[in-house]
C-alpha cells in the first residue's frame, strides 16, 4: 500500500493523536487519489480521515501485547 505510513504500534509507547491523524490522512490520500480534495469533496475527505483515525485508535486500544 503506502510505504510512507509509519507503524504506530510500538511497545511501551502509545501513538499520539497527531501520529494517528497523519497516518489516517496519508491513507485517505492514497485511497482517494487526492492530495488535497476540491471544496466540493472536502467534507467527504475530512470525514473519511476522521473515521479512519477513530478506527485506528480503537484497533490500537484493543490489540493485546504479545
Q: What is the per-residue pLDDT across 7-64, written as a single tens digit (0 to 9) for each?
A: 777 778 888 999 999 999 999 999 999 999 999 999 999 999 999 999 999 998 898 7
In a 13 Å sphere around the CA of 52, the CA atoms on its Cβ side amount to 20
* E strand or H helix at 55: helix 39-62
pTM of the model as a whole:
0.83
pLDDT of residue 5: 66
Distance CA 64, CA 43 (A): 34
Read off the C-alpha cell for 6: 509509519
Amino acid at each position: 500500500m503506502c510505504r510512507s505510513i509509519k507503524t504506530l504500534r510500538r511497545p511501551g509507547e502509545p501513538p499520539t493523536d497527531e501520529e494517528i491523524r497523519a497516518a489516517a490522512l496519508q491513507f485517505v490520500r492514497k485511497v482517494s487519489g487526492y492530495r488535497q480534495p476540491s471544496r466540493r469533496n472536502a467534507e467527504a475527505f475530512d470525514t473519511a480521515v476522521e473515521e479512519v483515525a477513530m478506527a485506528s485508535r480503537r484497533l490500537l486500544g484493543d490489540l493485546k501485547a504479545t
